[in-house]
Amino acid sequence: MHHFSRLSIGWARPSVVLALLLVGRAVAAQSPSSAPPDTIRGRAAQSTRAASRDTVRLTLEQAVQLGVRQSDEVGLAAAQTDVADAQLANARANVLPQLRFNGAYTHVYESARGQAVGQLFNQPNTYTFNTNLSQTLFQGGRLVSAVRAGSDVRQAAREDEAEQRATTTMQVQRAYLQVLFAARIAELQAGNLSLASNRVTQLEQLEKAGQAARYDVLRARVERANLEPVSIQARNDYELAQLDLKRILNLRVDQPLVLVSQIDTSAATALLNAPLDTTAAPDRATVRSAELSASARRLGVKVARADYWPALSVFFQQGYSAFPPIGYGIPTSRGALTAQDCPPGSAAGRLCQNGGFFSDRQMGLNISFPLFDGFRIKSNVDLAQAQARVADLQLQQERETVALDVARARAELRRARAAYAASRQNSSEAHEAFQLASLRFSRGLSTQLEVSDAQLAQLTAQSTEARATYDLFLASADLARALGRPIPLLATTTAASPSSR
């Protein structure tokens, strides 16, 4: 027996070693370092996709900041502001003195003057360097008017950018609240369907006990079946509202999104009790932009009329020129006239230039006056005047539009206040009525029809209350936007909304 045990142990040792080798190979085959490159890349791609699909949790304030930062409309308005800044800088550059450096090298292969007059003018190489300082003294008011018009255009672009930011802020808030409202309606519809399903179960049990008729069971089943499409539609509306919010925020369609802000009912009550401002005058950025655009167009008429006047400018030029003879090379010294630089055999007393740089200095006054230009100036003036009239009419239209927006926003706020005040009491009473109807039905004191009617009335009241609450916040924010005031962020509480699927 002892011999058999030692023999078993002896055979077991190679078996254990073999098993360890097999396990080691299996572990190595499963390790990332020994996996094929395609497998590694596939796992990395899966990890990247999983990371990119992380849920984005946004408060209302974060959503507004993200919308303004990523909005294409706001980016376009900012780019227009940059264009206006560059145009103003260009207009100001014409008022400042201009300093230019000019350099030239000329090689003459044949000179007609040198052949006709003499070799004195036959200089094959010419080097010229000079600086020119010029300043426009008078141009009929063109420069000053152009700078003022450019300043108005730049300020108008900034006002347009501010208006676009306000519009985007309002759009984000509206889309955010629409998602919250759709989530609330989906929650109410789901609860309503759950109540109908519980009532079907209760009636089926009562039917088995002989306390309910078959007609009541069938009616409850039909009612529940009719509520299912409504609940599905409410969930679909919630998903569509999320897609619209993602579009405004420039998020991917498949990006999971959770809204963590909820409407603060105490803030809604404060809005209900706040006095309605009916006397404040609007101060919209769009009106200011239109006023500045009209002012710039009127200045454009002055710019066009400036061509009727003469243009006066003064200049001063300082430079050096060199005319080295053939075979001299590039000049490096200052120019001078000496007898040593004359060719052999020259007449006594002749002075020749050494091929260096000679100074050149001059100052002048330029005046330009148009005598006839084919009526170009008149056409430019007529065009500028027509553009000024168009700008004035657009300003008038913008003022009328803003006044209408303010009146509409105030009327909508009054309606939202009245609807919210009526819906609060109605919702609580409808809920109490449904509770009483359910209690009466459970004790056999009422019919199923009464419970169904009470349930429908409760759903309608709760949906109306939710809509009135969101409409109250939106109407208040829309009035602030119409008046040109900073749009306040709606008072919210941080609570997780239904998860995105």
- Residues 216 and 323 placed together within one structural domain of the fold: no
Q: What is residue 76's three-state secondary structure?
A: helix
Domain identity same for 86 and 120:
no
In a domain, 39, yes or no: no
Residue 98 lies in a domain: no
Q: Say if CB 434 and CB 457 are below 8 A apart.
A: yes
The answer to whether position 48 is within a domain reads: no
Determine the distance from the C-alpha atom of residue 488 to the mean position of all C-alpha atoms in its chain, rounded to a whole number: 19
Residue 425 and residue 346 share a domain: no
pLDDT at 31: 40
User: Which residues, given as ranges, of the chain have pLDDT below 50?
Assistant: 1-41, 44-45, 47-52, 496-501
User: Are residues 434 and 357 located together in one domain of the fold?
Assistant: no
345 and 252, same structural domain? no
Question: Do 347 and 462 belong together in one domain?
Answer: no
Q: How far is CA 215 from the centre of its chain?
A: 60
**Do residues 134 and 153 share a domain?**
no
Which CATH number characterizes residue 271's domain? 1.20.1600.10
Is 17 within the bounds of a domain? Answer: no
Q: 342, 368, 394 — which closes off a domain?
A: 368
Last residue of a domain, one of 346, 368, 390: 368
| The pLDDT of residue 496 | 45
Of 69, 70, 82, which is closest to residue 158 (Cα–Cα)? 82
Q: Is there a contact between 384 and 297 (Cβ–Cβ < 8 Å)? A: yes
Indicate if 400 and 255 belong to the same structural domain.
yes
**Total-model pTM:** 0.73
Residues 401 and 416 in one domain: yes
Tell me: do 289 and 171 sit in the same domain: yes
Q: What is the pLDDT of residues 203-234, one digit of tens each?
A: 888 788 887 788 878 888 888 898 899 899 99
Per-residue model confidence as pLDDT tens digits over 182-200: 998 998 889 888 888 887 8
Query: How many percent of the chain have pLDDT more than 70?
Result: 83
Residue 19 belongs to a domain:
no
Q: Are strands 337-338 and 257-259 parallel, antiparallel or unpaired?
A: unpaired
pLDDT of residue 116: 67
Q: What is the pLDDT of residues 430-466, one digit of tens each?
A: 888 888 888 887 777 777 778 778 888 888 888 888 8
Judge whether 55 lies within some domain: no
Is residue 341 in some structural domain? Answer: yes
Pair 132, 154 in one domain? no
In a domain, 23, yes or no: no
Query: What range defines the domain where residue 114 resides?
Result: 105-138+313-368
Number of domains in the chain: 2
133 and 243 share a domain?
Answer: no
SS3 content of the chain, % helix, strand, coil (to 5): 65, 15, 20
Spatial separation of the C-alpha atoms in residues 77 and 444, rounded to whole Å: 68
